Amino acid sequence: MLKPLGDRVVIELIQTEEKTASGIVLPDTAKEKPQEGKVIAVGPGRVLDSGERVTPEVKVGDRIIFSKYAGTEVKYEGKEYLILRESDILAVIG
């Protein structure tokens, strides 16, 4: 299990199927870099200068949209993950 530190979040990429107007599914190379993910693990949150820890706004299982190219790719037990800072997450799909 990956336990992220501070305000970090471990996510799994979600490949979103992209169809053209005519309904043709585009092969992988024609698609944009993915921007969608599922939260796998959440850190305890960042610590403020006041000493307080900020409770993260996301939780395990959330589907999220994040900034393209943000985060670090990590391979763990044969699977690919992305470790982001919570501030790289734009929105939760709810």
65 by Cβ neighbours in 10 Å (0-12 / 13-18 / 19+) ranks as middle
User: How far is it between the farthest Cα atoms of the chain?
Assistant: 55
* Nearest distance from C-beta of residue 47 to a copy of itself, angstroms: 5
| Interface map 22-61 toward a copy of itself (x if CB under 8 A) | -------------x-----x--x--xxxxxx-x--xx---
Task: Please tell me whether residue 87 adopts helix, strand or coil conformation.
Answer: helix
DSSP assigned state of 31: S
Site string for a copy of itself, 57-86 (x = CB under 8 A): xx------x-xx---x-x-x------x--x
CB of 37 to a copy of itself, least distance (A): 13
Alpha carbon distance 17, 53 (integer Å): 38
**Contact assessment for residue 89 and residue 44, using Cβ atoms and an 8 Å cutoff:** no
The footprint of a copy of itself (CB under 8 A) covers: 1-6, 8, 10, 35, 41, 44, 47-52, 54, 57-58, 65, 67-68, 72, 74, 76, 83, 86-87, 89-94
